[in-house]
A and B are shown apart, each in its own frame.
Chain A
Amino acid sequence: MQQPSFRRLLAALVPIPLVVSACLGTPATTPAPTASSGAPSAAASSGGESVAPSADVTGTVTFWNGYAADGEEITTFTDVVLPAFKKLYPNVTVNHQEIPYDDLRQKLVTGLAGGTLPDVLRADIIWVPEFADMDALLPLDTEMSDFATISGQVFPGPLSTNKWKDHYYGLPLDTNTRILFYNTKVFQDAGITAAPKTIDEFETAMAQVKTKLGAGHYGYAEGGTGAWSILPWIWSFGGGITNAELTTATGTLNGPATVAAVTKLKDWLDKGYISPSILGGGVATSEQFGKDESATILEGPWMPGIFKNQFPTLGFEYATVPAGPGGSYSVVGGEDIVVFKQTQNKEAALAFTRFMLSEEAQLAMGKVGQMPVLSSLAGNADLPDYYPTFQEQLKTANARTPVPAWPKIDEAISNGVLKALRGDASVQAALDEAATTIDGLLKGS
């Protein structure tokens, strides 16, 4: 019969792809790490890792970074740093990929799944505990024979961002913080004669901008309510996120000092002193600053180079964050350099990491806004003349809570402050809710 045999044939063929896929199995195993994991008891790294530069070290090092494409960072890296590295290690090739910040994190997640990770990564400091907890990074304190020497040469604050549960999973590469940038033209037009040193002076200055310059002009612009944006204000008021032991947020995040800080921000927003961009969906703060719409913003040491290209005629100066009842505080940012466990070129990767922490590389990148982490370079005459204010602020800059759950904690803070600023809930209630959420997240880690 025509139909039955046709149907039989079809029925025979259809399950083939299903059978094939079942045989291929499920992702039950992880991408096997090929490099040996440094056991805590191992004193020196296995295989006699050569510390001195030599032609013996061979291999290809894939290096992912987030250097800005529209600044001098990448040109300095390719034209100054890499050739110097090549001179010391002629048989090592460095494949570098520049990936914008948001895409970089996504690419790393994809890489973790597919086993296509780089050898070395310039990672945001807040990613290190998360990746270390996932057992994806090499513990450099056991892998690098000269780790003790190098770690003694860097600032302790940035070094601490690499520590996770008894080991150091990276080395600091560059550090930064946010300080107050003020637009000299807007200050002049508003009749402000000096940079505000305290929060009260800051408020007065913002009021002057509003009265003298009117609608469309703001004293301060911020791009959102995430931790990076608002922690300088919270800390300067004497508030914070968690207690010292990093176990609970209740009592600190919804304590009187933090509530006072967020209440003040809401007050400024309602009075029209700060730009509505803080609620999201607005124009970028650097644009508002460059177009003379905002008198001040908080920015980092990479901005002067970018402003030079984007707004060449813009005149601006620097000051530390206006001091509140708690002092003048800001957030520590920066990048650490980490090596992935999956690397097939461990020696070459470690050699490259070591070189990036040399005075030569640090100074070269330091000249283009990547603040060095070597204490020997503090106050170096070749560094840009705007560094002193940043270095001053770094003395009182705090790191964000170093736990793997940090991204979720950041989201809880951001939503809580946003609710408070929008008036959807009272400041106290919004922060109470956020603190409870964060308590749960801290318990988990």
Chain B
Amino acid sequence: MARARRLLPIYGLLLPGMVLYGLWAAYPLISSFILSFSEWNLTKPTVFIGLDNYTRALSDPLFWRSLSSTLGYTIVSVAGQLVLGLGAALLLNQRIPGRSLLRLVYYLPVITSWVIVSLVFLFIYNGQAGALNWLLKDVLHLISKNIAWLAEPSTALWAIAILGIWKGIGWTMVVFLAGLQSVPRELYEAAAMDGAGAWARFRYVTIPFLRATSTFLIVVLTIGGFNAFISIFVMSSSATGTIGGPLNSTDVALTYMWKQAFTQIDLGYGAALSFLLAAAIVVVSVVELRLARRQETA
């Protein structure tokens, strides 16, 4: 009884959070899952259609295309964030004047609003009057004709991925900085005394200690990449008037799901697509973790 009296206030304090979670996370999740087995267009009654939505998705070429675009976007943005984030962390781990200010500056993009930043980059990427074209054509003379970065199917998705990289470097840098603090100073000194150069020190001292951090970052950044939506939604619909960009080249899984659910008003299909995406994210994350674990024991 004494234990119950001790535990009751604890669970009492936890209860409001659980209720909120139930209302805003669990309930929508479950009803969405049930919806994925039905057909619903907002005004007509919901019709149960079993696995039809899922079989339709698996044979829908546009869905597979959106998945491959998602994969491409994720690979590019994750790689970019990791490499540049690690670089920034290594540089800003040195004792240099203005280090705190620089770390702040690098982190600022992380806290900006996705929508605002997407709109700003829309101007930068504009095919006729954009800053990037001005820089490359009129200042550096690297290209001879303006490129419509967001309207060209071959460049649109990568242009948006660059925005994703720029926005995420600061966060990756901060996590790497934390990881770098766990590297014992004496190891660097010992390695230097043994004649190891900067690259060797990095390879044999720093990297092993960053393994856990890197695994964490890869998994989290991949999940983020698969969930990319706002920048692609804002930039492709503003640049070309269609969500999905020029010739559907920037359609990622979430924008395709959005179109099916809210533009074509086929909500059951949209729900099924979202769960297929969730399954894909789980599979990719598990694979990444397994690979990381195998590397560790190797």
Q: Given A224-B241, A279-B148, decide whether A27 and B35 contact each other with a Cβ distance below 8 A.
A: yes
Contacts of B101 in A (CB 8 A): none
Which residues in window 377-434 of A have CB below 8 A to B? 407-408, 411, 414-415, 418-419, 424
User: Complex Cα distance A402/B185, Å?
Assistant: 74
* Cβ contact within 8 Å between A281 and B149: yes
User: Complex Cα distance A253/B185, Å?
Assistant: 72
* Cβ contact within 8 Å between A9 and B11: yes
* Cβ contact within 8 Å between B42 and A30: yes
Of B25-33, B84-92, B287-295, which binds chain A? B25-33
* Cβ contact within 8 Å between B128 and A282: yes
User: Complex Cα distance A408/B259, Å?
Assistant: 11
Q: Verify if B95 is at the interface (C-beta below 8 Å from A).
A: no
Contacts of B152 in A (CB 8 A): 281
CB-nearest residue of chain B to A109: B262
Count how many chain B residues have C-beta atoms less than 8 Å from C-beta atoms of the other chain. Answer: 48
CB-nearest residue of chain B to A281: B151
Contacts of A16 in B (CB 8 A): 18, 22
Contacts of A27 in B (CB 8 A): 31, 35, 40, 46
Contacts of B42 in A (CB 8 A): 30, 109, 112-113, 134
Which residues in window 126-155 of B have CB below 8 A to A? 126-129, 146, 148-152
Contacts of A283 in B (CB 8 A): 126, 128-129
* Cβ contact within 8 Å between A277 and B128: yes
| Binary contact track B79-103/A, C-beta < 8 Å → 1, others 0 | 0000000000000000000000000
User: Complex Cα distance A252/B131, Å?
Assistant: 42
Q: Which of A5, A17, A135 contacts B18 (CB 8 A)?
A: A17
* Cβ contact within 8 Å between A281 and B40: no
* Cβ contact within 8 Å between A281 and B27: no
Q: Which of A6, A17, A136, A418 contacts B19 (CB 8 A)?
A: A17
Q: Verify if A13 is at the interface (C-beta below 8 Å from B).
A: yes
User: Complex Cα distance A106/B262, Å?
Assistant: 7
Contacts of B151 in A (CB 8 A): 279-282
* Cβ contact within 8 Å between B127 and A281: yes
Q: Verify if A353 is at the interface (C-beta below 8 Å from B).
A: no
CB distance from B35 to the nearest CB of A (A): 7
Contacts of B285 in A (CB 8 A): none
Of A18-26, A298-306, A321-329, which binds chain B? A18-26
Contacts of A112 in B (CB 8 A): 42-43, 265
User: Complex Cα distance A383/B86, Å?
Assistant: 66
Q: Verify if B3 is at the interface (C-beta below 8 Å from A).
A: yes
Q: Verify if B160 is at the interface (C-beta below 8 Å from A).
A: no
User: Complex Cα distance A226/B240, Å?
Assistant: 10
Main secondary structure of the interface of B (DSSP, over half): helix
Q: Which of B21, B45, B247 contacts A419 (CB 8 A)?
A: B247
Contacts of A5 in B (CB 8 A): 3
Q: Verify if A276 is at the interface (C-beta below 8 Å from B).
A: yes
* Cβ contact within 8 Å between B44 and A135: yes
Contacts of A29 in B (CB 8 A): 45-46
Contacts of A135 in B (CB 8 A): 43-44
Q: Which of B45, B240, B262 contacts A28 (CB 8 A)?
A: B45
* Cβ contact within 8 Å between B22 and A20: yes
| Binary contact track B103-117/A, C-beta < 8 Å → 1, others 0 | 000000000000000
Q: Verify if B7 is at the interface (C-beta below 8 Å from A).
A: yes
CB distance from B29 to the nearest CB of A (A): 8
User: Complex Cα distance A408/B46, Å?
Assistant: 23
CB distance from A103 to the nearest CB of B (A): 11
Q: Which of B34, B43, B242 contacts A30 (CB 8 A)?
A: B43
Contacts of B45 in A (CB 8 A): 28-30
* Cβ contact within 8 Å between B262 and A22: no
CB-nearest residue of chain B to A407: B263
* Cβ contact within 8 Å between A275 and B128: yes
User: Complex Cα distance A254/B45, Å?
Assistant: 39
Can you identify 15 A-B contacts, CB atoms within 8 angstroms? A17-B23, A20-B27, A26-B35, A27-B35, A30-B44, A109-B262, A113-B42, A226-B241, A275-B128, A281-B149, A281-B246, A282-B151, A283-B126, A407-B263, A415-B247
Which residues of A are in contact with B by a Cβ distance under 8 Å? 5-6, 9, 13, 16-18, 20-22, 24-30, 102, 106, 109, 112-113, 134-136, 223-224, 226, 275-277, 279-283, 288, 407-408, 411, 414-415, 418-419, 424
Which residues of B are in contact with A by a Cβ distance under 8 Å? 3, 7, 11, 14-15, 18-19, 21-23, 26-27, 30-31, 34-35, 38, 40-46, 125-129, 146, 148-152, 237, 239-242, 246-248, 262-265, 267
List 17 other contacts, CB 8 Å, given A112-B42, A408-B264. Answer: A13-B15, A17-B22, A17-B26, A18-B30, A21-B31, A26-B34, A27-B46, A28-B46, A134-B43, A134-B44, A224-B240, A276-B128, A280-B150, A281-B149, A281-B151, A283-B128, A407-B264
